[in-house]
Amino acid sequence: MHKCDGMLMETPDERSKPKRMRFAREDVLVKIEEAISNIVHQLSKGIPPTLTYPSTTAWGDVCFNEDLGLQMRPNQRQTTIRFESLQSLKKFGMMLKVLAVMYRLVKTNHYCTKRDLYYQDPTVFGNQHTLDSLVNNIACMLGVPRWHLHVLASSKGCIAGDLMFEDADNNYIDCRNSQMKTIHMYRQEKYECIKGIQVPNHVTGIHNIVTCARFILVVEKDATFQKLLEDKVCNTLGPCILITGKGFPDVNTRMLLRRLWDMFSIPMMALVDADPHGVEIMTVYKFGSRALAFETCYMAVPSLKWLGLLPSDIESIGIPKKALIPLTKADQDKGAELLYRPYMQHYPAWKLQVEYLLRTDKKAEIQSLDSIGPSFLSEVYLPSKMRCCGWI
């Protein structure tokens, strides 16, 4: 990286150097043409055509590598969509329709979001989830990430702190100025809403990235993200970057984190609720997800550290019992299922944390730290955790 006035910035040579496998538009067009040509060939032989893609519906379909995250298995189990089957005929037709749209987008060098794609024909797709699955299946079938098929996910994540870049449309974005104060009127009183910059939809189009951040804090919830901005954590603990996926992370937030890690090797840590769903969200950032295991190398950050809120912190820092919440049946089921995921065998300390949750039958949200003190999270908890890890 080129260092200028204490800032890390991407140099032209490094921008041109591929971090992961990249596909030229011509290569993507050829892959789509080959898929259609195969269908035509089957029809010419009097064979009912099929579309086949690797399956990722069960944990047995993926394997785990500590340095890479969740990966597709060699000799992956396949799912076949058959034209002659009444059960899969509609899906076969929808996949062909989406392939046709993708081909046109790549050919004309235009992009659209999955949301836009759905609304091109909502009566055919039925719901957004169906369309999302079709896009994932086609990307997996072709072996091409969806953004190279010119279909982008819609962003919901926000980012703030020491980060500047230009987006795909060459707009200059300065996340240091993301603490925009919006004045609202309520009962004739003024109050301020502090926000962040929305993560761009076209993450691969971001360029001229500059930062001097010492670490990146990944925050599970938007409410905590806003609280940390309000407490000016970017100034007191910074220079740093705060980012949130507002719950279960979207693809673009994960892609941006991975890109920053690839470029700058900035230490990253996760702040999530001390409950099974918080643990799962942290593992998705770190290892990727089962459903998108074929894109893990573009989204997972294996170096991510679990900063907190640890289940064992509930007792060690003395969170009041009135601030704790009993585990629901869904929490218990999620916790039990987490224990048998492939990565848990490599992280016995994490397994102990989940077992602690199930044994005590209590969970704590990050906001429960406010019951100790309104500034306990930003002035005590985070600084002490980071000093222990040597990050500040």
Domain boundaries, the chain: 25-151, 153-389
pLDDT in the model for residue 253: 95
Task: Please provide the CATH number assigned to the domain covering 25-151.
Answer: 1.10.10.10
What residues are annotated to the active site?
Answer: 119
pLDDT averages per 10-residue partition of the chain, 392 residues: 43 40 83 93 91 87 88 86 88 93 94 91 90 92 91 91 92 78 42 72 91 93 92 88 93 94 93 94 93 89 92 89 91 92 90 93 91 89 83 63
CA-closest candidate to residue 207, choices 170, 253, 157: 170
The DSSP bridge partners found for residue 159 are 197, 243
The CA distance from 305 to 330, in Å, is 26
pLDDT in the model for residue 392: 62
Reply yes or no on domain 153-389 having CATH 3.40.1360.10. yes
pLDDT in the model for residue 273: 94
Residue 311: cis peptide before it, omega within 30 degrees of 0: no
Asked whether the CA dihedral 41, 42, 43, 45 is positive or negative, the reply is positive
pLDDT in the model for residue 258: 95
The CA distance from 155 to 137, in Å, is 20
pLDDT in the model for residue 154: 86
- Residue 200 contacts residue 167 (beta carbons within 8 Å): yes
The CA distance from 68 to 343, in Å, is 11
pLDDT in the model for residue 73: 85
Cα–Cα–Cα angle for 171, 269, 375, rounded to 5 degrees: 95
